[in-house]
Amino acid sequence: MLLVHGIWDTGAKLSTLRRTIEARDRDVETIDLVPNDGRATIRELAMQVAARIEGLLVGADVARLDLVGFSMGALVSRMYIQRLGGRDRVRRFVSISGPHHGTLDALVMPYAGTRDMRPGSALLTDLASDAYPWGDVEVHVLYTPFDLMIVPPRSSELPGAKSTQRIPVAFHRFMIEHPRATKAIADLLVERG
């Protein structure tokens, strides 16, 4: 499993979520996207995820893994799945508070990656144009209705998701730290027999 962090973060910011998932006997890896401040396009960051996943799958006894993205990392993960071959490499995608329909906060940020996260951007319009975006990837969405980073919060929803959970935690960041949220995420990632 690979966890993908959000803007201005590193994989270390996902440590609480990582420990919660590892407590369920799951192997968890993270990635540090570079640069992490919105200067790189979402596609450029998704190429880093693609390379990391290919590296994880070399010599592995599985052909597909679970992918968890938080905030910008959720959109990066979506880009990988829809445009860079991820449909064949991802079994389950858990999107946590991702700007899939854009966020108004991105309107005040000048970089290429933050422009990709603006409502109505060319990237978001392109991704939304897929009639069957996920292939056989199992997609789950979690977000907080009190989000002040993903505005409006419902921008985190994805068409075709198997489940969508609104978790009433106070802040965007709490979606990867609050026990209620991390438990809900870990529950989705437990192996099904």
Beta bridge partners of 74: none
Whether the model clears a pTM of 0.85, i.e. scores above it, the answer is yes
pLDDT of residue 167: 97
pLDDT of residue 190: 86
On the 0-12 / 13-18 / 19+ scale of CB atoms within 10 A, 16 is middle
pLDDT tens for the chain, residues 1 to 193? 999 999 999 999 999 999 999 999 999 999 999 999 999 999 999 999 999 999 999 988 899 999 999 999 999 999 999 999 999 999 999 999 999 999 999 999 999 999 999 999 999 999 999 999 999 999 999 999 999 999 999 999 999 999 999 999 999 999 999 999 999 999 999 865 3
Q: Is the peptide bond before 119 cis (omega within 30 degrees of 0)?
A: no
pLDDT of residue 193: 39
Q: CB within 8 A of 58, min separation 6: which ones?
A: none
34's tokens: 């570079």
Which domains, from first to last, does the chain contain?
Answer: 2-189 (3.40.50.1820)
> Is the Cβ–Cβ distance between 66 and 91 less than 8 Å?
yes
Cα–Cα distance between 97 and 52 in angstroms, integer? 22
Q: Summarize pLDDT for 57-99 with one digit per residue, the tens.
A: 998 889 999 999 999 999 999 999 999 999 999 999 999 999 9
Q: CB within 8 A of 15, min separation 6: which ones?
A: none
